[in-house]
Structure 1
Amino acid sequence: MTLRRIKPLTFADAAPASIAGKKPELKWVAPTDLFVDETYQRDLTDRSFRLIERIYRGFAWNRVKPPIAVDDGGKYHLIDGQHTAIAAASLGITELPCFVVEAVAQDERARAFVGHNTDRIAVSPIAIYNALRASGDPDALDVERVCKRAGVTIREYTNTSTIHVGDTKAVTIIRNMIRKRGVIKSRQILECLVKGEMAPIAAGAITAVENILADRPQVDLEALARIIRMDGEAGFAKARAKASGDRTPLWRVLQARWQRRLDQDAA
């Protein structure tokens, strides 16, 4: 286990906030005593219902984030956490930990609501994968084993990163492919791209090879890897430009391009 202690940072060009108002109080509140101000908060959408159902199915106290609310004369107006509150109420939970903060005026509450929904970083698929892997999730462990045997490294990178053959961000595509094709075929597909010296391995390239193998089960993967290697970065860039210009998925352009080269070599 690697532990990283929280340490303060300094920001040369940023003025620190003036910390105002009272500290929040932690109170146990009945979920059905919480209210949503629809003046500035969203109504429930299909996506909301799916999220509530997911919380409902997987509710656990060690996963709960306390809702944030304002005490308005004994009525608790939610600023953040209505999905959690609705799931808890649906489960028959009689008390929920709730942070009660100071925000008297409605516009102040609305600003707080915006802050809670923008001052956060979306959790990346790779971060979720790493957490699932650490928890022993079978699907995540399958992804780890397949990638290790194929020579693929799942990692975050940017345009300025040093990228190596086999690096990829496409953890979701790989997980779905393993579920659909199994570990052996998935490893063969990824090995083909590693032998093709792709750096990084794009999601579209994985799907392209997956579909080639589905359409042509007897395809020579060594020959396909050689074509991908010869096509190189320049060929990939041309495929990406064509996909953008034709408004076609990249995988479809790559599949057609590589299949055409296979046919030419076989002629």
Structure 2
Amino acid sequence: MSDIRPIAPIDTTGLKPAMPLTALPKCELVDPQELFVDGSYQRSIGERGHRQIRRMIQRFCWTRFKPPICAYGQHEGKRVLMVLDGQHTAIAAASNPNVDLIPVMIVDAPETSAQAAAFVGQNTDRLAVTPLQLHQAAVVAQDEDAVTVEQVCQRAGVTVLKGPAGNGRYRARETIAVTTVSGLVERQTAMGARRILEVLANADLAPVTGHHIRAAEYLMTNKDYCQKFEPQDLTTAISELFLTAEDDAKVMSHAHRWPFWKALAVVWFRKTKKRRLHLRVAA
């Protein structure tokens, strides 16, 4: 079924729509190496930023490109374009020898104070893209990693939601912990991740949280625990403890200063039926 919908205005009853106080922005092609950044209100690029820029250089594609927002300002007596939003994008483009010009959107903010206000607006007057939204878009785009995560969840009986439950009520086997699931697949391979998620899905957790996933992974992969129980017995323990496990884990986490997921794993393990150890007796 198609999910294509037109852009339509919402009901503005009770609102007073603002009249734009500046000129309409214009778009131009510029050399990214001719752009400037004002350090008085924009942070310098740290280690994390450099890693992001390197990824952008390696994956550079116009379909991923967001034009930086710029405004004309003064630097050493010259009129230059200042980047208000998108300095990582501009640096990545300037670093790519295959890119000569980039489109930028130029807004009317000639003073530093106006540029700083525009920077704040660009970074507050928008909704951040969530990991769930990125995952769903990546699945539609047939991104290999995202498709693998989706397939692992489906085969384990876990449903990845498109967003948090509107009323806060989740159904059994639903999850929004897509980042944790992705890390699980990366660490344990698709098959290993599926085995772990199946244990949680079969316990009918609602929802399957990141803490649940971390706790189950710890028990099913740590050499001190994984050989002492059957996966189905861990599922049974989780089901039987669904009313008390998290409260007990909070107490244990505080007492031992453990991460919550680790305390939860220990609570589950104590309840789980243990395997019988068969000792071979020499003839």
TM-score, scaled to structure 1: 0.91
Aligned to 2:122: 116
Q: Select the residue among 171, 175, 186 that pairs with 1:164.
A: 171
Percent of aligned pairs with the same amino acid: 33
Q: Secondary structure at the match of 1:232?
A: coil
Query: CA shift at 1:209, angstroms?
Result: 1.2
Number of matched pairs: 267
Deviations 1:129-171 (A, max 9, x none): 1111111122222222221122101112247233111111111
Q: Is structure 2 residue 155 aligned with structure 1 residue 149? A: yes
Structure 2 distance, partners of 1:8, 1:55, is 34
Between 1:105-114 and 1:188-197, the stretch displaced more is 188-197
Query: CA shift at 1:15, angstroms?
Result: 2.7
Aligned to 2:96: 91
Unaligned segments of structure 2, at least 5 residues = 278-283
Q: Secondary structure at the match of 2:243?
A: helix
Q: Is structure 2 residue 6 aligned with structure 1 residue 5? A: yes
Which letter does structure 1 place at the counterpart of 2:121? G
Query: CA shift at 1:90, angstroms?
Result: 0.8
Q: Select the residue among 146, 149, 154 that pairs with 1:140.
A: 146
Structure 2 distance, partners of 1:25, 1:4, is 27
Any conservation in 1 of the 2:229–2:274 contact (CA below 8 Å)? no
Query: CA shift at 1:184, angstroms?
Result: 2.4
| CA spacing shift, 1:193–1:26, aligned 2, 3 Å | same
Query: CA shift at 1:221, angstroms?
Result: 1.3
Q: Select the residue among 195, 212, 219 that pairs with 2:229.
A: 219
Deviations 1:84-110 (A, max 9, x none): 111111113221111111112211111
Structure 2 distance, partners of 1:104, 1:245, is 57
Structure 1 distance, partners of 2:68, 2:254, is 43
| CA spacing shift, 1:241–1:11, aligned 2, 3 Å | farther
Structure 1 distance, partners of 2:45, 2:160, is 36
Between 1:255-264 and 1:2-11, the stretch displaced more is 255-264
Query: CA shift at 1:6, angstroms?
Result: 0.9
Q: Is structure 2 residue 189 aligned with structure 1 residue 182? A: yes
Structure 1 distance, partners of 2:153, 2:213, is 12
Query: CA shift at 1:263, angstroms?
Result: 5.7
Aligned to 1:233: 243
For 1:21-40, what aligned pairs fall within 5 Å after superposition?
21-40=22-41
Aligned to 2:216: 209
Which letter does structure 1 place at the counterpart of 2:199? C
| CA spacing shift, 1:198–1:61, aligned 2, 3 Å | same
Query: CA shift at 1:114, angstroms?
Result: 0.9
Structure 1 distance, partners of 2:253, 2:13, is 43
Aligned to 2:80: 75
- RMSD value over aligned CA atoms? 2.2
Deviations 1:182-207 (A, max 9, x none): 22232221111122121111111111
